[in-house]
Copies of this chain bind each other. A is one copy, B any other.
Amino acid sequence: MTTSSPGTARDADRPRQISSVPQAQLTAWRSFLEAHARTTDLLARELKEAEGIALTWYDVLVQLSEADGHRLRMQELAERVLLSKSGLTRLIDRMERHDLVHRSACPSDRRGTFAELTPEGLAMLRKAAPTHLRGVREHFAELLDDEEAAILTELLGRIADAATMADID
């Protein structure tokens, strides 16, 4: 019965990628991807031009500066900056050559290698932060009133939480 209805027949002819996500949500998804790509691309370029460092480097410096003792296990750092372990290893190699971080062994845990912020790394972060934060203010914060910001926090927080849960499953 159901397979002979015209609606079902038409649906079956459509490419699955079109029919499987409703239009309003698909449009929201594309806006989400585009907003992220455009803002991070712009912030990365502004940071590179003004401070000479990549946004990924800046992100590593921020994560380490917020951690206890200004250091994190490589595995934990990789999760926070969302890089693969091999990607982070190469990144930390380059940052170590610029004296911005250094590696140290964890005395209580043979598995562990720490990445630790150096004084030079902290100085670089302090120097670069105003440029980055000015960008976040100009390209994001100033475009939203408080109520709109709260709505975004609720909707995007819901999506982040669900993805974190799905990841644990």
- A interface residues, Cβ below 8 angstroms from B: 15-17, 20-22, 24-29, 31-39, 41-42, 82, 126, 129-130, 132-134, 136-144, 146, 148-153, 155-160, 162-164, 166-167
User: From residue A47, how far is it (CB to closest CB) to chain B in Å?
Assistant: 13
**Interchain CB contact under 8 A, A146 and B29:** no
Leading 7 A-B pairs by shortest Cβ distance: A25-B141, A38-B163, A35-B156, A24-B149, A31-B156, A28-B149, A35-B160
Which residue on chain B has the smallest CB distance to residue A45? B167
Interface centre among A41, A82, A139, A156 (most CB of B within 10 A): A156
Q: How many copies does the complex hold?
A: 2
5 more CB-based (< 8 A) A-B contacts, given A21-B137, A32-B156, A138-B166:
A16-B133, A24-B146, A26-B136, A28-B153, A32-B152
Of listed A34, A130, A152, A162, residue having the most chain B CB within 10 A = A152
Q: In chain B, what residue has the closest Cβ to A125?
A: B17
Contact of A38 among B20, B148, B160 (CB under 8 A): B160
Q: Is the CB of B163 within 8 A of A35?
A: yes
Partner of A27, one of B26, B32, B142, B149: B149
Q: Which residues of B contact A138 (CB under 8 A)?
A: 166
Which residues on B sit within 8 Å (CB–CB) of A28?
Answer: 140-141, 144, 149-150, 152-153, 156
Contacts of A167 in B (CB 8 A): 38, 41-42
